[in-house]
Amino acid sequence: VSSGQDIQGTSVVANLPVLMRQNPAETLRRVLPKIREVLHVAGVEMQLTAAVSFLTVLQEESVSIHTYSHSFLHIILQNLEHRDAGVSNAWLETLLAVIEALPKETVRHEILNPLVSKAQLSPTLQSRLVSCKIMGKLANKFEAHIIKREILPLVKSLCQDVEYEVRTCMCRQLEHIAQGIGTELTKTVVLPELVELARDEGSSVRLAAFETLVNLLDMFDADDRSQTVLPLVKSFCEKSFKADESILLSLSFHLGKLCNGLYGIFTPEQHLRFLEFYKKLSTLGLQQENGHNDNQLQLQTLEQEKKYISVRKNCAYNFPAMVVFVDPKNFHLELYSIFFCLCHDPEVPIRYTMAISFYEVAKLLNSGVYTIHKELVTLLQDESLEVLDALVGHLPEILELMTNGGENSGSESKLLSIPDLIPALTTAEQRAATSLKWRTHEKLLQKYACLPHIISSDQIYYRFLHRMLTIILTNNVLPVQKAAARTLCVYLRYNRKQEQRHEVIQKLIEQLGQGKSYWNRLRFLDTCEFIMELFSKSFFCKYFFLPVLELTHDPVANVR
């Protein structure tokens, strides 16, 4: 450490946790004071390493918390004021973790008191930002009356700081402070500050105020919601298209939470207004093709296009929440058109988000699930594999809902409900098979094991069973072959027609068990494992035991 070589110093600092484990007393007595001296003049690399090492020592608990605060805390506090913002933030992370672990009294003497006396005077922007974050952390540490007396005056002054970065940062911490002081004080102290910040001239401050408001919705009672929060939200909605485009993104992301959080206080007319606003956002950027296009507009429109895509993606993300908001009974009337638009959106991320939330929507619609059959078929045939992958995740549950959710759930109606389902499922599988994304193909084949509950065994036999056999014989990705083999065994298990069963078993034995390629014979053994898992011992012995034994004399060592 004393050599003055930065790289050697950094190495020692990086190994500090190891030294602390092996010999804490000597390390604290001899190494740490040296490190403390060197850190004053050290470069960025060493400072960052030290911040991480100090954090590791804390997490490994190689010394008592009392010793830690005695030896390490001062070094951390000294370096917080570092002129490099990256270094300052690294030390701040360490300090915030230390605050969690320290006893109250130590925090009070070492951190809170100096902070209170210094914050009023701290000249640099960085140190005021650090103060904001520390205060957010301290709010969970002390009782409400201490926070009210010592921290809140500071919080107020930082909320009115001259620099917009400080106001934004303090505003983001208000959420933690509100949780520390409870609902009463939140109402009298935090809410007025938020209202003030929501009208700030800095757009990032307004954005922070808006997001904090949304996150604190549960803490306000009905009066606050209707008299304070609702008017603010309305003004955000009105401004979002004109002045405040940054808010537009955040608003579209939080809209579901907002609508459901304020649900109880909406008049029917407001309810309708928010719904209309959501509808407007969901199709944002899709209507304006008027054919005028000048070059200087194009750059601007590219940026805007990106923003609009993000807004529509957020709308897709919030769709299940909006179904709850309008009540699933009114889905067809109010939201179906938007559902249709979002599932057919020209941009992949939006269709992908819809595919992910498709199961949620289907669950909410319950017996009305038949209204979205067409969209399921559309998404299954989507040209993007990401969309297919997202949809397939919950495919068994979705199909289960669709067959049982319909009113007429007798055994005959198993198929009547979704006319184009089977072609869509086959196309989806073929598209996955011809792509290079074998993981999607594997997942799809695994999920197709649910089909016996959904469609008749004849249809499985003619449409899917032979396809599985072909995949086992011709595909060259092992996980895909295994997935196909397992699904084939499931189909066989549910097939009640003796002659069909025998035919499949014959094919398995002839084409796999006695196949020309040793690769086929290995797959036969994999298939036998699934047979043993899904069928009885007697079934296995009757059909597969002898063909398996023959493979003990196989010419290829791997098979033996």
* pLDDT at 412 (0 to 100): 45
Cα–Cα dist 457/256, whole Å: 42
Kindly list the domain boundaries of the chain, sorted by start residue: 221-285+303-326, 327-406+416-455
* pLDDT at 413 (0 to 100): 47
Task: Average the pLDDT over 37-56 and give the result.
Answer: 90
* pLDDT at 121 (0 to 100): 65
* 559 contact partners, CB below 8 Å, separation of at least 6: 518, 521, 522, 525, 551
Percent pLDDT > 90 in the chain is 57
By the 10 Å C-beta count (0-12 exposed, 13-18 middle, 19+ buried), 555 is classed as exposed
pLDDT tens digits, 60-102: 888 888 899 889 999 998 888 888 889 999 999 999 999 988 8
Residue (of 382, 395, 467, 381) closest to 427 by Cα position = 381
- Whether 119 has a pLDDT exceeding 70, the answer reads no
* Confidence (pTM): 0.83
Q: Which residue has the tokens 């669709």?
A: 402
Max CA separation in the chain (angstroms): 90
pLDDT tens digits, 241-288: 766 567 888 999 999 999 988 888 888 999 999 999 999 999 988 865
* pLDDT at 411 (0 to 100): 45
pLDDT tens digits, 411-448: 444 544 567 889 999 999 999 999 989 999 999 999 99
* Three-state secondary structure readout of 96-127: HHHHHHCCHHHHHHHHHHHHHHHHCCCCCHHH
* pLDDT at 300 (0 to 100): 66
* pLDDT at 471 (0 to 100): 96
Contact 481, 471 (CB under 8 A): yes
pLDDT tens digits, 313-323: 999 999 999 99
Question: Crossing angle for the helix pair 203-215 and 191-198, nearest 10 degrees?
Answer: 140
Task: Average the pLDDT over 303-307 and give the result.
Answer: 86
Q: Which amino acid is at 187?
A: K
Task: Average the pLDDT over 27-37 and give the result.
Answer: 90
Task: Tokens for 261, please give them.
Answer: 């959080």
- Whether 208 has a pLDDT exceeding 50, the answer reads yes
Task: Average the pLDDT over 320-343 and give the result.
Answer: 94
* pLDDT at 288 (0 to 100): 58
pLDDT tens digits, 144-183: 888 888 888 889 988 998 899 999 999 999 999 998 888 8
Percent pLDDT > 70 in the chain is 94
Would you say the C-alpha torsion 17, 98, 173, 87 has a positive or negative sign?
A: negative
* pLDDT at 535 (0 to 100): 95
Cα–chain center distance at 197: 29
pLDDT tens digits, 442-497: 999 999 999 998 888 899 999 999 999 999 999 999 999 999 999 999 999 999 99
What mean pLDDT, rounded, does the chain reach? 89
Cα–Cα dist 198/178, whole Å: 17
* pLDDT at 531 (0 to 100): 96
Cα–Cα dist 232/238, whole Å: 10
- Whether 410 has a pLDDT exceeding 70, the answer reads no
* pLDDT at 294 (0 to 100): 53
- Whether 28 has a pLDDT exceeding 60, the answer reads yes
pLDDT tens digits, 212-222: 999 998 888 88
Task: Average the pLDDT over 327-337 and give the result.
Answer: 93
* pLDDT at 470 (0 to 100): 95
* pLDDT at 120 (0 to 100): 62
Task: Tokens for 364, please give them.
Answer: 């909410």
* pLDDT at 297 (0 to 100): 63
* pLDDT at 282 (0 to 100): 93
